[in-house]
């Protein structure tokens, strides 16, 4: 290195190079203080242009670029710049504690203890240890969580099942009804003269095999077909028809060779209330022993069933309920929560289609009417129904409702009571009449020979009902 280069660096180093030739500070000036080993000045007052101590850039040399000159030469060169002729203001030295044996720290120096270097050397090891500890903790937590989850999921599987002891468990009302009534319900398989077979249900009335069912269930076997009854205990018996009443849609069959059967207990349909809970039992779609529950939706509902193939429709005075019933439930019992039969399931409402199922609107023949018809069929083989001796028509029916009398049978109960064609019947006893079906259903709810009051549009009369074979 030449003397000129030395004098250039020694005269100002980076700070001198940071000034422009006209003496103004350049972009490279930092702090304005001289950096030197001999002076020990740190953060002194900045030099003012024109001061005697301001260094002069060497002539003939290029001014160092403040953006690229890092001042390394000033730090590396062994030649130091001459002290500036300005008055020195001693800066407060920074003194750090150090071992007493080494004496006071030199002015302007920073002391670092040997332990600091050692700590710096071991810092990566400490960080690695912390990371390993975290990883180990996470792994342990995951293993613990996995084992805990497995132990929870295996907990129920690890415990033995309780001993099956149905006898010690208290039965709910519906369970008690099912246990009581199921042995008294049979599945009837009917093969008639045509293709295929029909299925329905029946209620056992006597230990020797007298069974009550719907007439439409066994009608196909009335002309040379067969009926087979299947009991809940698996036994099967051939059955024969002993009486039919198409007007009430009821029939009796007897199981040949049956003994010791469980007879059902009959209730009283007059005690039914709207909203009362009921249970339906039967064989919907051939599924014998099916139990469903619901409530009584309405009483004294006039329902016209049958008549699809040119036959005469049957009008039932029915109990409406929402216990689900389907084809195959016909002839089965509707029972109360004491297990007493209060109706015989006979029909369902549907939204259309030949395969309509339950929509929550089912109809049952009241057991009081069913019992009377069954007793007549058992004694005489036929049933007698009550009649008024009139026909009804829809012509002239008022908007407020009522049944309009069409024809009056000469000498019949209505004629003897003074009814005429065109009279409008508004009530039978206390029951409102809205149309002709309601009048027919109301009369069939009574027995032959019974006296009944009729409320007409303009008067009130009393009739004595007659009877005729169904």
Active site residue 233: no
Please, which contacts does 394-398 make with residues 24 or more away whose CB atoms are closer than 8 Å?
Answer: 394/435, 394/436, 396/422, 396/424, 397/424, 397/435, 398/424, 398/457
Active site residue: 9, 73, 216, 321, which one?
216
- In whole angstroms, how far apart are CA 339 and each of 19, 166, 182, 232? 116, 20, 10, 17
Active site residue 216: yes
Q: Are 369 and 248 in contact (CB under 8 A)?
A: yes
Cα–Cα nearest to 373, from 268, 269, 461, 245: 245
Q: Which two tokens stand for residue 447?
A: 């027995």
Q: Are 343 and 367 in contact (CB under 8 A)?
A: yes
Active site residue: 248, 330, 364, 470, which one?
330
348 CB-near residues (< 8 Å, 6+ apart)? 325, 326, 356, 357, 358, 359, 361, 362, 363
142 CB-near residues (< 8 Å, 6+ apart)? none
19 CB-near residues (< 8 Å, 6+ apart)? 12, 25, 26, 29, 57
Cα–Cα nearest to 278, from 336, 239, 207: 336
* DSSP structural state of residue 27: T
Active site residue 249: yes
Active site residue: 198, 249, 423, 445, which one?
249
Tell me the catalytic residues: 216, 249, 330
């Amino acid at each position: 290195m030449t003397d000129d280069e030395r004098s250039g660096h020694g005269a100002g180093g980076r700070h001198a190079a940071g000034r422009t030739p006209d003496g103004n500070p350049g972009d490279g000036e930092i702090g304005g203080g001289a950096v030197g080993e001999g002076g020990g000045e740190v953060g002194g007052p900045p030099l003012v242009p024109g001061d005697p101590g301001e260094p002069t850039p060497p002539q003939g040399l290029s001014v160092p670029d403040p953006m690229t000159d890092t001042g390394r030469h000033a730090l590396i060169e062994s030649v130091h710049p001459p002290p500036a002729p300005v008055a020195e203001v001693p800066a407060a030295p920074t003194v750090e504690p150090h071992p007493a044996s080494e004496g006071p720290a030199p002015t302007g120096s920073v002391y670092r203890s040997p332990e600091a270097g050692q700590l710096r050397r071991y810092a990566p090891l400490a960080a690695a240890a912390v990371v390993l500890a975290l990883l180990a903790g996470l792994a342990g937590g995951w293993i613990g969580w996995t084992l805990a989850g497995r132990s929870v999921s295996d907990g129920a599987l690890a415990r033995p099942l309780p001993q099956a002891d149905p006898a010690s468990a208290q039965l709910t009302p519906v369970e008690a009804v099912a246990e009581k009534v199921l042995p008294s319900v049979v599945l009837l398989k009917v093969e008639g003269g045509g293709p295929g077979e029909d299925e329905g249900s029946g209620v056992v009335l006597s230990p020797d095999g007298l069974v009550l069912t719907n007439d439409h269930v066994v009608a196909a076997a009335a002309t040379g077909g067969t009926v087979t009854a299947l009991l809940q205990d698996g036994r099967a018996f051939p059955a024969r028809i002993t009486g039919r009443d198409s007007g009430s849609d009821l029939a009796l069959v007897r199981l040949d060779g049956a003994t010791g059967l469980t007879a059902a207990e009959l209730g009283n349909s007059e005690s039914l209330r709207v909203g009362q809970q009921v249970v339906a039992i039967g064989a919907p779609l051939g599924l014998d022993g099916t139990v469903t529950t619901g409530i009584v939706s309405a009483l004294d509902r006039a329902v016209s069933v049958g008549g699809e193939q040119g036959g005469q429709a049957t009008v039932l005075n029915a109990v409406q309920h929402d216990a689900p019933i389907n084809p195959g439930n016909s002839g089965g019992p509707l029972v109360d929560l004491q297990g007493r039969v209060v109706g015989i399931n006979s029909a369902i409402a549907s939204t259309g289609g030949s395969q309509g199922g339950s929509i929550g609107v089912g109809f049952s023949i009241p057991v009081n009417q069913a019992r009377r018809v069954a007793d007549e069929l058992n004694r005489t083989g036929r049933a007698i129904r009550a009649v008024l001796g009139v026909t009804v028509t829809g012509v002239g029916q008022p908007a407020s409702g009522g049944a309009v009398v069409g024809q009056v049978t000469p000498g019949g109960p209505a004629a003897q009571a003074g009814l005429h064609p065109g009279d409008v019947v508004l009530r039978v006893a206390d029951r409102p009449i809205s149309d002709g079906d309601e009048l027919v259903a109301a009369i069939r709810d009574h027995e032959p020979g019974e006296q009944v009051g009729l409320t007409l549009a303009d008067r009130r009369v009393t009739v004595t009902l007659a009877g005729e074979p169904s």
